[in-house]
């Protein structure tokens, strides 16, 4: 039946199990379809998924965002397993899901290093800005793969972690004070505001202050960029939005029988385009080729210009939040050259 497989995959991507798809088809279309037939239809995407996970990537990415979600997967016994996800924004301002991997145990920096090394083997030679949460050891893991990458910790995660060290009755005041810090116009202004914040709360909550001191280098990095870029890199909301769709598709499933089944559902979520909303990046390998007509783009783009690229990448900018459009770069040099590589000093005690 024409379009049957596509309909099955669409339902599968929305989180329905094979049994629920079977019941849905029987109720709506009054047809009896076996679970085995449904499984064969969803199984056809496996080859496409494998090719997608092994596709070559661009040489340079302006922004790399990494995060993990937890799914229940059966491996002898049902257990919580982290699924590592990497999203990149290339130098043309387009975003794409670069890879997904299922780990074991809890999320760890050592495991992240292995997955990032795989991305490098697939062609990523340089990352300008890497955005992540405050997982211990993760900045070092990133710099071991791309030594020149600037690390930006998610400000939202830092604020949340800070509140763990404070009484709930002071949360609103502390959040308001920290907002004054991360909305500062410059790194020097942020340092001055943090000094005022420390004077107010340092004696009561020294552990909270210590969290910001330890991570100051990786917190203040985004303040060296213009506001348009700050909005993109100061938080990992872009990948969190994608994770939200992943959770929506997997919530109704108690657990997955194996990790391949989990990855298949997540890939179908990436591939499934929804109208009238910002869709997650990623998609089929076969797509348009990179245009080489713009001198500004070719000056910083990967030399592998004849490689196929994803056909369903989406812009990493909105009306009020932009990266340079393809061929309209505001500066002839890459982001490396726009700011100093030297790290700002931590605020004085």
Q: DSSP secondary structure string, 223-287?
A: GGS-HHHHHHHSS-HHHHHHHHHHHHHHTT-S-BSSHHHHHHHHHHHHH---TTS---S---S--
Band (325; pLDDT cuts 50, 70, 90): very low
Please give the share of the chain, as a percent, with pLDDT higher than 90: 48
Reported confidence tier of residue 285, pLDDT bands at 50, 70, 90: very low
Helices (H), the chain: 4-13, 18-29, 35-43, 45-54, 109-121, 138-145, 155-163, 171-182, 187-201, 206-214, 216-219, 227-233, 237-250, 259-271, 295-298
Span of 163-177, 240-254, 305-319 with lowest mean pLDDT = 305-319
Query: pLDDT tens digits, residue range 26-35?
Result: 777 777 777 7
- With 90 as the cut, is the pLDDT of residue 281 above it? no
Q: What is the pLDDT of residues 184-209, one digit of tens each?
A: 999 999 999 999 999 999 999 999 99
Q: How many CB atoms lie within 10 A of CB 227?
A: 9
174 Ramachandran zone, left/alpha/beta (phi>0; psi -120 to 50): alpha
Q: What is the pLDDT of residue 132?
A: 94
Query: Which candidate, 261, 233, 265, places its Cα nearest to that of 249?
Result: 265
CB 151 within 8 A of CB 221: yes
Question: Minimum mean pLDDT among 99-103, 148-152, 265-269: which range?
Answer: 265-269
Tell me the C-alpha distance between 279 and 160, whole Å: 27
Between 270 and 190, name the one with better pLDDT. Answer: 190
**pLDDT for position 237:** 86
C-alpha span between 183 and 197 (Å, rounded): 14
Strands 77-90 and 94-102: antiparallel
Lowest-pLDDT range of 166-180, 230-244, 328-342: 328-342
* Integer CA distances (angstroms), 31 to 9, 19, 40, 100, in order: 17, 14, 17, 36
Statement: residue 239 has pLDDT above 80: yes
Tell me: pLDDT of 171 over 50.
Answer: yes
Long-range contacts of 37-44 (CB under 8 A, 24+ apart): 38/8, 41/4, 41/5, 41/8, 41/9, 42/8, 42/9, 42/12, 42/18, 42/264, 44/5
Q: Could you give the C-alpha distances from 237 to 78, 187, 268, 292, in angstroms and in order? A: 29, 22, 21, 31
Q: What is the mean pLDDT of residues 94-101?
A: 94
Which tops the pLDDT comparison, 342 or 240? 240
**Confidence at residue 47, expressed as pLDDT on a 0 to 100 scale:** 86
Please report which confidence band the pLDDT of residue 305 belongs to, taking 50, 70 and 90 as the band edges.
very low
> Could you read off the pLDDT of 114-147 as tens digits, one per residue?
999 999 999 999 999 999 988 889 999 999 999 9
C-alpha span between 41 and 5 (Å, rounded): 5
* Whole-number pLDDT of residue 292: 36
Contact 302, 289 (CB under 8 A): no
* Confidence grade of residue 75 (pLDDT, cut at 50, 70, 90): confident
Residue 279 structure tokens = 């869709």
Q: 83-97, 247-261, 276-290: which has the highest mean pLDDT? A: 83-97
Angstrom distance (rounded) from CA 67 to CA 82: 10
Which of 239 and 319 is assigned the larger pLDDT? 239
For the ranges 76-80, 134-138, 199-203, 335-339, the lowest mean pLDDT is seen at 335-339
**pLDDT at residue 278 greater than cutoff 90:** no
Q: What is the mean predicted confidence (pLDDT) over 316-324?
A: 35
pLDDT at 311: 29
Average pLDDT, rounded, for the chain: 78
Whether 170 shows a pLDDT value over 60: the answer reads: yes
Per-residue pLDDT for 339 more than 90? no
Q: Residue 88: name the closest of 113, 137, 123 by CA.
A: 123
């Amino acid at each position: 039946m024409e379009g049957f497989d596509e309909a099955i995959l669409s339902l599968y991507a929305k989180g329905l199990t094979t049994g629920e798809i079977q019941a849905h088809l029987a109720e709506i279309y009054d047809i009896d379809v076996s679970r085995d037939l449904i499984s064969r239809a969803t199984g056809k995407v496996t080859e496409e998924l494998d090719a997608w996970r092994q596709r070559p990537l661009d040489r340079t990415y302006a922004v790399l965002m990494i995060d993990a979600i937890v799914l229940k997967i059966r491996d002898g016994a049902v257990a919580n397993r982290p699924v590592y996800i990497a999203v990149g924004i290339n130098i043309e301002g387009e975003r794409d899901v670069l890879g997904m991997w299922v780990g074991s145990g809890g999320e760890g920096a050592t495991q992240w290093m292995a997955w990032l090394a795989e991305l490098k083997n697939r062609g990523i030679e340089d990352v300008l800005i890497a955005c992540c949460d405050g997982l211990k050891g993760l900045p070092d893991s990133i710099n071991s793969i791309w030594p020149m990458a600037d690390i930006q910790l998610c400000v939202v995660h830092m604020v949340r972690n800070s509140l763990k060290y404070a009484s709930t009755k002071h949360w609103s005041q502390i959040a308001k004070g920290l907002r004054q810090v991360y909305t500062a116009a410059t790194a020097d202004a942020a340092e001055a505001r943090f000094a005022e914040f420390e004077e107010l709360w340092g004696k009561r909550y020294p552990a909270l202050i210590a969290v910001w001191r330890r991570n100051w280098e990786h917190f203040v990095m985004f303040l060296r960029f213009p506001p348009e870029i700050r909005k993109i890199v100061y938080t990992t909301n872009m990948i969190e939005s994608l994770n939200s769709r992943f959770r929506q598709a997997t919530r109704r499933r108690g657990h997955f029988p194996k990790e391949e089944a989990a990855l298949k559902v997540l890939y179908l979520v990436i591939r499934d385009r929804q109208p009238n909303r910002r869709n997650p990046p990623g998609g089929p390998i076969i797509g348009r080729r990179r245009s080489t007509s713009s001198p500004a783009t070719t000056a910083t783009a990967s030399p592998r210009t004849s490689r196929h690229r994803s056909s369903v990448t989406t812009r990493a900018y909105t009306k009020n939040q932009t990266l340079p459009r393809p061929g309209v770069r505001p500066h002839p040099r890459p982001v490396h050259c726009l700011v100093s590589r030297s790290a700002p000093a931590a605020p004085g005690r």
